[in-house]
Copies of this chain bind each other. A is one copy, B any other.
Amino acid sequence: MADNPADAADAEPTLEEQIAAYQREFQDLDPQVEQIVSALGRLNRRMNVAYGRQTASLGITNAEWEVLKALVLSGAPYRMGPGDLAKRLGLTPAAMTHRIDRMVAEGLVTRDRDESNRVRVIVELTTEGRAKWLEAMRAASGFEEDLLQDLSPEERGVLGEVLTRLLRRVEDAQPDAGGRLTDLT
């Protein structure tokens, strides 16, 4: 995660050039829609690169940071089962087993059998894991403040509201066979 090739200055065309190229190759395109979608995708990619740099400088990976986040958000005493963690992060249980292996080795979490139900396993945040999360959180929120610095309070409000509305639309709607979103309401 430290030196991903995605970090490199990547000879990408500007957003304007890219949209012009799409219009040239696909006449049916709505340039306004494409601008929103392309900007969204690229912004997200850049942000993940930035997060990756920050977590790497703290000696953890983005993957580990995700696990720390899930545990902290679950609230004290910061315990979850591997299966719940896997669902929460969109991973297979197998991948979670390995990820937890690594994090136990680094002292970020502990793994113990649940004595009241010996099929279950309890992953618990260590003090060190909680401290790492806090450091990463501070760095991330500083970066996020910088990113949004030029937006007026009104713009922030509109942006948050509109993005939330879009999110609700993807989360609530069920795509049909062709991938179109059909309203459930």
Contact = CB atoms under 8 A, between A and B. Distances in A.
Nearest to A7: B90
B179 A43 contact: no
A115 interface: no
A15 interface: yes
- The interface centre, meaning the residue of A53, A92, A163, A178 with most chain B CB atoms within 10 A of its CB, is A163
Contact of A87 (B10, B41, B142): B10
A13 B72 CA distance: 13
Q: For this complex, into which size category does the number of interface residues on chain A fall? A: 35 or more
Contact of A12 (B26, B29, B88): B88
B40 A163 contact: yes
Interface stretch (A44-52, A104-112, A116-124): A44-52
